[in-house]
Structure 1
Amino acid sequence: MTQRIAILGAGVMGETLLSAILSSGHPTGDVVISEKRDERAAELREKHGVEVTGNAEASAAADVILVVVKPQDVEPVLAEIADSVRPGATVVSLAAGIRIATVAAALPDGVAVVRAMPNTPALVGEGMFGVSAGPGVSDEQLAAVVGLLESGGRVVVVDESRQDAVTAVSGSGPAYVFYLAEAMIAGGVAEGLDEDTARTLAAQTLVGAAKLLAESDESAQELRRRVTSPNGTTHAAITTFDEAGVKDGLVAGVAAAAARSAELSGPA
């Protein structure tokens, strides 16, 4: 039997998940999304053919409720739906820094809580989601959440204590890649390429390298070694990066992101 899905929040990520879930074959009639603005609600109905309603109404009959709002809006939304969520439902928070205990405390007993960290490549179906199950979440409930999120990319299941690391690696990770792309494009332009050509070269190189890493059994280190001939052009670049401390800087940046994530989450 198909589960009824409620998506609370019709922002970019909310609509992204809506599109992905519908594209995966989930029946339109079993998906509802919440939106307060009339114009935006009409747009969603016309574009996706789904029911658009308020948070409490969307949650009342749902088996899985995806809370896709800004972190500061999570607690008000949970207060709004607390009397509507039925026992046995699963609530999934996709808001950065909101702990499972915070969500569970705002909901009735018997409601399963899952925490998920998405990233922006879900917009093109290549998202990465780190998922953590709260106490009392059954294997079936967790599998249902994983299946839904896989419609927007890949999913790893981790203990909640590792969510700050997930945030640092994949949640913030797209920005690191764009940062690298900025540098590659700037370097190409400095060497005489026009910006459009440099962007095309950098973007497709990153796409191809990422796909090779994802589909290969080799480590990132080994893949790098395979294209780094002794005293060749790549060797010259990697040596320069090492001398400039690029790798150490990136590792330190990931650590800083994890530490900041922990600060934003508050006491465990």
Structure 2
Amino acid sequence: MKKLAFIGAGSMAEAMISGIVENNFLKGEQIWVTNRSNQEKLDRLHQKYGVNGTYDLSELLENADAVILAMKPKEAATGISQIRAYLTENTMLISVLAGVSIESIELLAEKKLPVVRAMPNTSATVGKSATGLAINSYVSDRQKEIVQAIFETVGLTTFVEENQIDAITGLSGSGPAYIYYLIEAMEKGADEIGLDKDVAKDLIVQTLQGAAEMVAKSTKPSYQLRSEVTSPGGTTEAGIRVLESFEVQKAFIQCIKEATAQSKRLGIALSDELYPVK
């Protein structure tokens, strides 16, 4: 791979650029980036990673092997329409736009070209993303290897059928926010029981990392791991009983379902915008 272009220069684009450069998948000068109007951000990315920032679409996309669509989902139609004249049937489009289907991207591009729909999460910033990938029939075996290698620079990857991408969005795409929400609650609880803020943070982080490592390495299902630390009449049982009284587990399940549904709604809204019923 010789050249990679980013349309959009937000936090996800920067996380990916960081992973790609720091893991030596590409050199900074092989990466080109644009955004709507923030020249200061492009300059900062150039200074930090050595990438090229430009508003000249011809310069941005000339001989690009792949283009990563990293703008806001609501900007997909405008963004793709602006670059379609510069795309060839060999240009791989990689979308990290929540809710935007491969079919919508194909129709907006007005070409039969390789399209990848990816759903990373913000943990890409620290190289710990969980990324789901779906491809269309024009993606070659070599291109599939390339896109997998790109996202492996920021974490774990898995290929799925596209109809599972909305579910991945609801589970792991939005998942870090659910964990942060839990951490907020643990921090507030720690404060109310009189623990020092810094001490509490260290304990919470280690507890979460330890629990995650146990799930990753153990062959036991999560409910069994939980039951093994929930002694009858003990402190953990007392705490779990409160969580159950508030139906916290049900709330998390509904949370994931609703985020998945919203991803689907975003896709439907874009389709309706592109092809309104007459």
TM-score in terms of structure 2 length: 0.89
Kindly provide the amino acid, as one letter, of the partner of residue 136 in structure 1.
Y
Could you say which residue in structure 2 is the equivalent of 1:147?
Answer: 149
Query: Aligned partners of 1:56 and 1:8: how far apart in 2?
Result: 13
Kindly provide the amino acid, as one letter, of the partner of residue 208 in structure 1.
G
Could you say which residue in structure 2 is the equivalent of 1:11?
Answer: 10
Could you say which residue in structure 2 is the equivalent of 1:223?
Answer: 225
**Aligned positions of 1:129-208 closer than 5 A:** 129-208=131-210
Aligned Cα RMSD in Å? 1.9
What is the deviation of 1:121?
0.9
SS in 2 for 1:33: strand
What is the deviation of 1:189?
1.6
Cα gap change, 1:40 to 1:256, in 2 (>3 Å): closer
Could you say which residue in structure 1 is the equivalent of 2:22?
Answer: 23
Greater relative contact order, per chain length (Cα 8 Å cut-off, separation 6+)? 2
Q: Do the aligned residues in 2 keep the contact of 1:87 with 1:109 (CA within 8 Å)? A: yes
What is the deviation of 1:18?
0.7
Note the residue ranges of structure 1 that are not aligned, 5 or more in a row.
none
Structure 1 stretch displaced more, 252-261 or 207-216: 207-216
Deviations 1:77-112, CA, capped at 9 Å, x for gaps: 211111112221210110111111111112243410
Q: Do the aligned residues in 2 keep the contact of 1:7 with 1:18 (CA within 8 Å)? A: no
Which of residues 200, 211, 234 is equivalent to 1:209?
A: 211
SS in 2 for 1:193: coil
Cα gap change, 1:37 to 1:245, in 2 (>3 Å): closer
Deviations 1:211-241, CA, capped at 9 Å, x for gaps: 3323433322232233223332212222222
Query: Aligned partners of 1:22 and 1:218: how far apart in 2?
Result: 37
SS in 2 for 1:263: helix
Q: Do the aligned residues in 2 keep the contact of 1:32 with 1:53 (CA within 8 Å)? A: yes
Q: Do the aligned residues in 2 keep the contact of 1:121 with 1:127 (CA within 8 Å)? A: yes
Could you say which residue in structure 1 is the equivalent of 2:47?
Answer: 46
SS in 2 for 1:131: strand
Matched, 1:244 2:243: no
Could you say which residue in structure 1 is the equivalent of 2:34?
Answer: 34
Could you say which residue in structure 2 is the equivalent of 1:117?
Answer: 119
SS in 2 for 1:82: helix
Q: Do the aligned residues in 1 keep the contact of 2:106 with 2:112 (CA within 8 Å)? A: no
Q: Do the aligned residues in 1 keep the contact of 2:92 with 2:116 (CA within 8 Å)? A: yes
Kindly provide the amino acid, as one letter, of the partner of residue 44 in structure 1.
L
Question: After the TM superposition, which segments of 4 or more aligned residues of structure 1 sit over 4 Å from their partners?
Answer: none
Could you say which residue in structure 1 is the equivalent of 2:274?
Answer: none
Could you say which residue in structure 2 is the equivalent of 1:232?
Answer: 234
Note the residue ranges of structure 2 that are not aligned, 5 or more in a row.
272-278
